[in-house]
Amino acid sequence: QVQLVESGGGLVQAGGSLRLSCAASGRTFSVYPMGWFRQAPGKEREFVATIDWTGSTTDYADSVKGRFTISRNVDKNTEYLQMNSLKPEDTAVYYCAASSIYPLNSPLNVDYWGQGTQVTVSS
């Protein structure tokens, strides 16, 4: 079992930055590929970024490439999403996810979800 708890969401102006964190519990965290997804009101949950269990391979949705960076610290059992140059269209609830599958780029492949953290970007 892996339990995930996100933090770091909030309200920011367009062009600003936020860093989301995801604290994981469970002895096998280090071998799970991780990812971030988001869901805006009235829309389906969508892929944002994923990272393999070593932390050396990443992938991003086209909409966030060059602006968001995913990383993980295995010693601290924590995953991060650094979000820069935020846009109003980035407004959503952001979810941390873990799976046995890499790349973790589909909600259908997620084994564990966090509870979500709200990110709101004002124009």
28: its two tokens = 């096998």
Cβ contact 72:79 at 8 Å: yes
pLDDT over threshold 80, residue 28:
no
Round the average pLDDT of the chain to a whole number and report it: 93
pLDDT over threshold 80, residue 5:
yes
Across 76-100, b (16+ Cβ under 10 Å) vs e yields: ebbbbbebeebeeebbbbbbbbbbe
For residue 24, count CB atoms less than 10 angstroms from its CB and return exposed for 0-12, middle for 13-18, buried for 19 or more.
buried
User: What does the pLDDT look like over 84-108, one tens digit per residue?
Assistant: 999 999 999 999 999 988 899 999 9
For the chain, the distance separating the N- and C-terminal CA atoms, rounded to the nearest angstrom, is 40
- Give the count of beta carbons closer than 10 Å to the beta carbon of residue 34: 29
